[in-house]
Amino acid sequence: MTQGKNITVAILYVCTGKYICFWDEFFNSCEKHFLPDTPKHYYVFTDQHFAQEDAPNVTRIHQENLGWPDNTLRRFHMFLNVENDLSRHDYLFFFNANCLFRKDISLDFLPADNEQLLVVRHPGNVDKEPDQMPYERRSRSRACIPFGTGKDYVCGGVNGGHSKTFLRFAKSARDAIDADYHDGVVAVWHDESHLNRYVLDHPHVVRHAGYCYPAKWKLSEELHIEIRDKTDFGGHAKLRTTAVTARGDDLVTVAIFGGLGNQLFQYAAGLAYANRTNRRLQLDTHHYDSNSSFPYSLGDFCIDALIGTSRTLPPNKADRFKYLTWKLLGRSPRLLRERSLAYDERLGSEQGSVYLHGYWQSEKYFAQSEDLIRRHFECKSTLSNRNLQIANEIQSTPSIAVHVRRGDYVSNQKANSLHGTCSPEYYQEAVARIQAETGVDHTVYLFSDDADWAIRNLNFPCQVKPVVGNDRASAWEDLKLMSSCSHQVISNSTFSWWAAWLNRNPAKLVFAPQFWFRPSSGVSSDIVPNSWNRIENSSNSQQKKAA
């Protein structure tokens, strides 16, 4: 074993907000007991000031208080911001803020192999079989460990190793967390879930639970590091108090489900409500855990919302008793379920913390927050090379985006009886009117989920360029291209609705079908803004006359 005086160890410590209360005892106990003869340097990520911040072996790094759960979920992002400084040390170790060293820890604690990540067995899962352990089981998370796999369950509060090994893990965890967030999922135990996934596939050494053991628990192993009870310091709620903490009364939660068009309506309604009531927006994306008809697609936009977890969301229907108790007793956040597809005035007058469940398909829900919505719906991802070329073409010529929605509107009997489809005559009349009103010859960019049908059945008196090749995973690229056109002819589809709404051309002409739903369905809707032009959809109007 290398002599302690010949190596340097960096201690990574996050104590934003009121978590600074743990620092003094942590620092003093670590200096006394953790590798006592080895030089240690402390990197303290905090928005607070403390007595030792000017000490030669302490570096204070200002860290904005991100609130919970981001203070823990984003810790690897924090560490990698100072990667160059950390890489100068031989070893890196992270300790939870409420760790307290109770007994000397010698150099034997370090992993014998520099490629091994050092982890600590979780004290609450010592004797469990892998299928009983609280791994992340959802396949859409990068932290997923399926049933039938797994070995040890390790805790997120103490881990480390050789600097190269730890930084390699930190980068992997950061990238996995970012990819999850893009896809609308947060692992059940945040960074700890990603740690468990990582150690399953990489060299590691496991230390016993006495190196991360909760105070007041009965211990069967030698206690080295105690996890202080947060209730002695005011509890989680007090310690996490901050303007951005995910507490129920501070949040507006909106259920996200369906395709991209539906998701944009739900997000816009939730964001406008959160903005009006000075709350933070949280998204419930659990629909996508079990339904893969459409992917969660908001990650490609500049949204700013928490992705809800089981600890920040109200109970779901799987826990029937808790769900009914929450729903029937009107507990916070109060459930506000959409009554119909017409504008629901309750959303404009409600003031408290709510859980919004519905489609919310009307501009009236967010008209007062238009600039904010537009900023959030800017695309943050880069168009593919092929789509970038199309975008440049669109910008250089007068253009009309024509969107033809068929798909399940044709193949699914229930969807067809509700929505119907727009006739070829509808699209052709709309394009002709744009040409006539502007007096300019346009190029039609044709978008459809059934391009072959659209090409065969639609005849326009101008150049037509079908846009094909994008799928549901890249739907945002179609949306970007459509909204870049000079004018829009939309189908009875929320997807093309948003392309028209997001079009920033002040002189744009938008044509929408007179009947968003089949007249025979009896469904009313406030989806089409008054400023848009409406054309009677001949196929739906014929059905109305025949009824």
Is the CB of residue 137 less than 8 Å from the CB of residue 145? yes
Task: Give the single-character DSSP code of 80.
Answer: H
How far is 400 from 244, CA to CA, in rounded Å? 43
Q: Phi and psi for 97 in degrees, rounded to 5?
A: -60, -35
Q: Which residue among 129, 136, 192, 345 is the active-site one?
A: 192
Identify the CA nearest to 19 among candidates 55, 61, 42, 50: 50
Is the CB of residue 39 less than 8 Å from the CB of residue 9? yes
How far is 32 from 102, CA to CA, in rounded Å? 9
How far is 364 from 346, CA to CA, in rounded Å? 12
Residue 190 makes CB contacts below 8 A (sequence gap 6+) with: 69, 72, 73, 156, 309
Residue 393 makes CB contacts below 8 A (sequence gap 6+) with: 465
Identify the CA nearest to 445 among candidates 411, 422, 470, 409: 470
Is the CB of residue 105 less than 8 Å from the CB of residue 98? no
Strand-pairing partners, residue 214, are: 227
Listed in sequence order, the DSSP H helices in 412-474 are: 413-419, 424-438, 451-457
Could you identify the residue written with the tokens 């949306």? 479
Residue 115 makes CB contacts below 8 A (sequence gap 6+) with: 162, 165, 203
Number of separate helices (H) and strands (E) present in the chain:
20, 21
Amino acid at 25: E
How far is 124 from 126, CA to CA, in rounded Å? 6
Amino acid at 277: T
Per-residue exposure over 251-279, b if at least 16 CB sit within 10 Å of its own CB, e if not: bbbbbbbbbbbbbbbbbbbbbbbbbbeeb
Q: Which two tokens stand for residue 440?
A: 């300019």
Report, in angstroms and rounded to the nearest whole number, the Rg of the chain calculated over CA atoms: 28
Identify the CA nearest to 212 among candidates 135, 146, 152, 148: 152
Identify the CA nearest to 256 among candidates 284, 281, 292, 294: 284
Catalytic residue status for 437: no
How far is 125 from 362, CA to CA, in rounded Å? 49
Indicate which residues carry an active-site annotation: 192
